């Protein structure tokens, strides 16, 4: 018996003329995610994407698991494909559906017949297949209102498809259909979640991380790479830019009032990220900031960081509680890595009393007292890139 996976696109259906393009991107993303599992034929027809394994020994469980993390898919169904005859459906159904029906008390059959040439009409198909299953599983009862399992039989152009309930997809839009943005990723809990959330809106995520050796360790950088890898199932490949930030941080410490240290440092992060973003065609920055979580995330502080860049700054977790963010971090499996206790460059040289209501004029004044342009240039030029995933 041949098994395939059918994908139903979510919001894609709403996008009118763009739909074709969105489907193409989605299929490309699926191909990339399944690449190392074997050969698949992936094509679309009538708003459904077909994922057909072309080899016998493909791990379809793993393929389905990966596809549930690909944005742009609303639902997946794993189906048996048989010849377009009731005989073939009858022969396949009891064996194929056994694992599901064994544990169920009630079921119903639904039929869809897009090939109108097929001799049996839908009600007849339901009735006949229902009878076959009742005979094969004598303890089973029909319940058309609240069945434990619904069995679907679909008669399509290419064959007859047999499957049970759909699996929820990740939703959202295919990564790459909404442009590209640069995620400022720390080793913390919030920024990986922020990256995940924007990828869900179809944004391709490039990441940037600032390191301050020897104040931050190799372990801290490894941790960020691990976080990027954990985003790969959702974001696709993640390119990480690693920016040497030590000299700038030291200069800020030596030249700026202590209580403004964090805010000025964050402004430099924005400025450098903006330059890197422009080099790699990123149209926005993404951060994991959440209002009032720490001193550098009050409205006054955000106002100061915002104007450090011309690019829009996307902050998808801005209105979320830590608890809500942690929930997503657990769901995408970044939480355990995020809580590993390595220093981030934000936590070295933290002021004893950071200003929670910094005034932009004071910040700008502190910045013009010394010339940072050379150091910014060096940081940009010293940036190294790693491809993850």
| Helix, strand, coil percentages, rounded to 5, for the chain | 45, 25, 30
- By CB under 6 A, which span of 55-63, 106-114, 186-194, 227-235 interacts with ligand ATP? 186-194
Single out the segment in contact with ligand ATP by CB under 6 A; choices: 51-59, 98-106, 111-119, 178-186: 178-186
Q: With respect to Mg ion, which residue has the nearer C-beta, 162 or 184?
A: 184
Which option in Mg ion, ligand ATP, none does residue 151 bind, with CB closer than 5 to 8 A by kind?
none
Whichever of 130 and 195 has its CB closer to ligand ATP, that residue is: 195
User: Which residue is associated with the tokens 């698991």?
Assistant: 65
Chain residues that interact with Mg ion, rule: CB under 5 A: 186, 188
Q: Alpha helix locations (H) across the chain?
A: 19-34, 60-67, 86-102, 122-136, 190-200, 218-235, 246-255, 261-279, 299-306, 322-331, 335-338, 360-368, 373-381
Instruction: Tell me the window of 13-21, 79-87, 103-111, 179-187 that interacts with ligand ATP (CB under 6 A).
Output: 179-187
Options 79, 178, 287, 298; binder of ligand ATP; rule CB under 6 A: 287
- Asked whether 181 and 206 are in contact (CB, 8 A), the reply is yes
Site for ligand ATP in 326-345 (CB under 6 A): 344-345
Total of chain residues touching ligand ATP, rule CB under 6 A: 20
Residue with tokens 């915002």, as numbered in its chain: 306
Least separation in angstroms between residue 187's CB and Mg ion is 7
The answer to whether 133 and 109 have CB atoms below 8 angstroms apart is: yes
What is the Cα–Cα distance from 107 to 51, expressed in whole angstroms?
27
- Residue selected from 79, 177, 178, 191 as contacting ligand ATP according to rule CB under 6 A: 191
Subset of residues 341 to 380 that bind ligand ATP, contact rule: CB under 6 A: 344-346
Q: Is 166 exposed, middle or buried (0-12, 13-18, 19+ CB in 10 A)?
A: middle
Length of the chain, in residues: 389
Q: Decide the pairing of beta strands 238-244 and 149-156.
A: unpaired
Q: Which of Mg ion, ligand ATP, none does residue 184 bind (CB under 5 to 8 Å by kind)? A: ligand ATP
Which residues sit at the interface with ligand ATP, rule CB under 6 A?
184-186, 188-191, 208-210, 269, 287-289, 293-294, 296, 344-346
């Amino acid at each position: 018996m041949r098994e395939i996976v059918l994908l139903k696109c979510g919001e894609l259906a709403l996008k009118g003329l763009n739909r074709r393009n969105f489907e193409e991107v989605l299929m490309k993303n699926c191909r990339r995610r399944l690449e190392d599992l074997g050969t698949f034929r992936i094509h679309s027809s009538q708003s459904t994407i077909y994922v057909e394994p072309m080899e016998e020994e493909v791990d379809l469980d793993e393929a389905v698991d990966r596809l549930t993390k690909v944005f742009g898919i609303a639902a997946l169904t794993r189906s048996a494909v048989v010849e377009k005859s009731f005989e073939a459906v009858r022969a396949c159904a009891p064996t194929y559906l056994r694992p599901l029906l064994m544990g169920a008390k009630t079921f119903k059959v639904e039929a869809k017949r897009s090939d109108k040439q097929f001799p049996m009409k839908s009600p007849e198909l339901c009735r006949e297949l229902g009878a076959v299953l009742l005979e094969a599983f004598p303890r089973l009862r029909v319940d058309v209102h609240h069945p434990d399992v619904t069995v679907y039989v679909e008669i399509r152009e290419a064959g007859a498809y047999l499957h049970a309930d759909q699996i929820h997809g990740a939703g959202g839009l295919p990564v790459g259909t909404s442009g590209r943005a640069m995620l400022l990723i720390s080793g913390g809990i919030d920024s990986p979640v922020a990256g995940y959330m924007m990828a869900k809106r179809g944004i391709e995520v490039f990441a940037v991380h600032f390191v301050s050796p020897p104040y931050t360790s190799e372990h801290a950088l490894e941790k960020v790479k691990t976080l990027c890898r954990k985003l790969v199932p959702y974001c696709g490949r993640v390119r990480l830019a690693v920016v040497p930030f030590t000299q700038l941080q030291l200069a800020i410490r030596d030249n700026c009032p202590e209580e403004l240290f964090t805010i000025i440092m964050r402004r430099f992060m924005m400025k450098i990220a903006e330059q890197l973003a422009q080099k790699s065609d990123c149209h926005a920055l993404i951060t994991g900031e959440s209002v009032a979580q720490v001193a550098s995330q009050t409205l006054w502080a955000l106002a100061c960081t915002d104007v450090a860049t011309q690019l829009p700054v996307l902050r998808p977790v801005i209105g979320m509680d830590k608890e809500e963010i942690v929930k997503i971090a657990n769901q995408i499996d970044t939480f355990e890595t995020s809580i590993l206790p390595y220093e981030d460059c934000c936590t070295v040289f933290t002021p004893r009393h950071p200003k929670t209501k910094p005034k932009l004029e004071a910040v700008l004044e502190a910045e013009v007292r010394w010339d940072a342009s050379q150091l910014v240039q060096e940081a940009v030029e010293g940036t190294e890139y790693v491809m993850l995933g």
